């Protein structure tokens, strides 16, 4: 009897192994999808950008001071006669991001200090999710808010004190973007500050320091590099943000350091270049991919460095 079923068992085992191989293959290919997405992003951006760089030299793109792609649309011109110097876009992106960070860095860090050092557990559990709501609001909603409420308010206020504020200004876009980023900075800073060990604080108290002195002279210096990493991550978010700047910053390139003027950013130009009705292969649409490639590498670099630093300082005292 036992002999007969041995064969059955072997067959059963065979088929089970086959099933397991199939399942394992499916699992591996699902995990590999992530790699394919990355390759897809890099590949598509890279190939389209290379076609763009055949018409426009890389150096002209990276260091050119004039951006006016619309002239390339006219039929009587050769494709490359539009100006594709991206410096005004980089400057505009930097300007809106700097405004955003000057809002969000102090607010985020001080919120984190209060939440991790002063607030009671109940307050903390109440306020943290409320702050997170700011991160969950869709960016198009922020954009609408910036364009409808903040920009006119700034314009009116500017007129009262004698300043000429553009109706689409880097300040309005950056301000609202800053509010969006507050929870990102505050939650990373909170993590880092909480990772600073008690013994450091108690040493400081033992020497007679007050709580705020301890925070300023012991906790923050220990946490600062980690917080800086968090700010890099926030910068990457600000640089890649699209809808707020599309709706509240300008569309025309403008090389300026004045946040009261309208500027345009890399992401705005990608949207502008690709939402019109032109054929897919024009230099204009290809320019969007060149901008996309630049954006991808800049944000990737910021993310890699930022997350390395944050991870190191989160685990520093473990």
Partner 1 sequence: MTEQSYPPNLVTDAVDGVRKRHRKEIRFRLLGLSAILASLGFLVFFIASIVTTGYGAFVKTVVLVDVDLTLDSLGLEDGYTPKDLEEISYRTVARNAIRDMFPEVSGRSARRELTGLLGAGAEFELKDFVLKNPDLVGAPQSFWMTASDDFDLFNKGGAREETATQLSSQQKDWYRSLLRDSRVKTTFNASFLTASDSRDPELAGVWGAIKGSFFALGICLLLSFTVGVLAAIYLEEFAPKNRWTSLLEVNINNLAAVPSITYGLLGLAIFLGIFGLPRSASLVGGMVLALMTLPTIIISSRVSLQAVPPSIREAALGIGASHIQAVFHHVVPLALPGMLTGTIIGMARALGETAPLLMIGMVAFIADAPASVLDPASALPVQVYLWADSPERAFAEKTAGAILVLLAFLVAMNMAAVVLRKRFEKRW
Nearest approach in angstroms of CB 76 to partner 1 is 27
Which residue lies nearer to partner 1 by CB, 113 or 171? 113
Contact 82, 66 (CB under 8 A): no
Task: Show the site string, 92-121: x = touches partner 1 by CB under 8 A, - = not.
Answer: --------------xxxxxx-xxx-xx---
Nearest approach in angstroms of CB 134 to partner 1 is 6
Which residue lies nearer to partner 1 by CB, 197 or 276? 276
Based on the shown chain and the rule CB under 8 A, indicate whether residue 137 belongs to the binding site for partner 1: yes
Distance CA 201, CA 173 (A): 39
Burial of 144 (0-12, 13-18, 19+ CB in 10 A): middle
Which residue lies nearer to partner 1 by CB, 136 or 162? 136
Sign for the pseudo-dihedral over CA of 296, 275, 167, 185: negative
Contact 70, 82 (CB under 8 A): yes
Site for partner 1 in 138-177 (CB under 8 A): 138-141, 143-145, 147-149
Nearest approach in angstroms of CB 188 to partner 1 is 12
Based on the shown chain and the rule CB under 8 A, indicate whether residue 289 belongs to the binding site for partner 1: yes
Using CA atoms, how far residue 230 sits from 115, 126, 251, 313, in Å, is: 17, 23, 30, 10
Using CA atoms, how far residue 21 sits from 10, 18, 25, 34, 74, in Å, is: 16, 5, 6, 21, 58
Task: Show the site string, 221-240: x = touches partner 1 by CB under 8 A, - = not.
Answer: ------------x--xx-xx
Which residue lies nearer to partner 1 by CB, 107 or 224? 107
């Amino acid at each position: 009897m036992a002999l007969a079923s041995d064969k059955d068992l072997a067959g059963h085992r065979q088929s089970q192994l086959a099933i397991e191989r199939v399942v394992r293959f499916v699992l591996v290919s699902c995990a590999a999808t992530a790699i394919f997405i990355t390759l897809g992003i890099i590949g598509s951006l890279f190939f389209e950008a290379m076609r763009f760089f055949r018409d426009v030299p890389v150096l002209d793109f990276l260091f050119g001071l004039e951006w006016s792609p619309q002239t390339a649309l006219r039929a009587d011109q050769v494709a490359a006669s539009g100006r594709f110097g991206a410096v005004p876009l980089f400057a505009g992106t930097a300007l809106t991001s700097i405004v955003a960070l000057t809002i969000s860095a102090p607010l985020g860090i001080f919120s984190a200090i209060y939440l991790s050092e002063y607030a009671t557990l109940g307050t903390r559990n109440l306020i943290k999710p409320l702050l997170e709501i700011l991160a969950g609001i869709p960016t198009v909603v922020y954009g609408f808010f910036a364009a409808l409420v903040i920009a006119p308010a700034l314009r009116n206020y500017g007129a009262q004190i004698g300043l000429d504020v553009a109706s689409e200004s880097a300040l309005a876009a950056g301000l609202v973007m800053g509010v969006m980023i507050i929870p990102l900075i505050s939650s990373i800073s909170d993590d880092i500050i909480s990772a600073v060990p008690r013994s450091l604080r108690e040493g400081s108290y033992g020497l007679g320091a007050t709580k705020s002195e301890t925070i300023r002279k012991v906790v923050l210096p220990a946490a600062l590099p980690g917080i800086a990493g968090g700010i890099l991550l926030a910068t990457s978010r600000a640089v890649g943000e699209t809808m707020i700047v599309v709706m509240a910053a300008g569309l025309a390139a403008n090389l300026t350091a004045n946040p009261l003027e309208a500027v345009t950013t890399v992401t705005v130009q990608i949207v502008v270049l690709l939402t019109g009705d032109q054929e897919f292969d024009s230099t204009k649409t290809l320019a969007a991919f060149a901008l996309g490639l630049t954006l991808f590498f800049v944000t990737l670099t910021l993310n890699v460095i930022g997350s390395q630093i944050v991870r190191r300082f989160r685990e520093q005292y473990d």
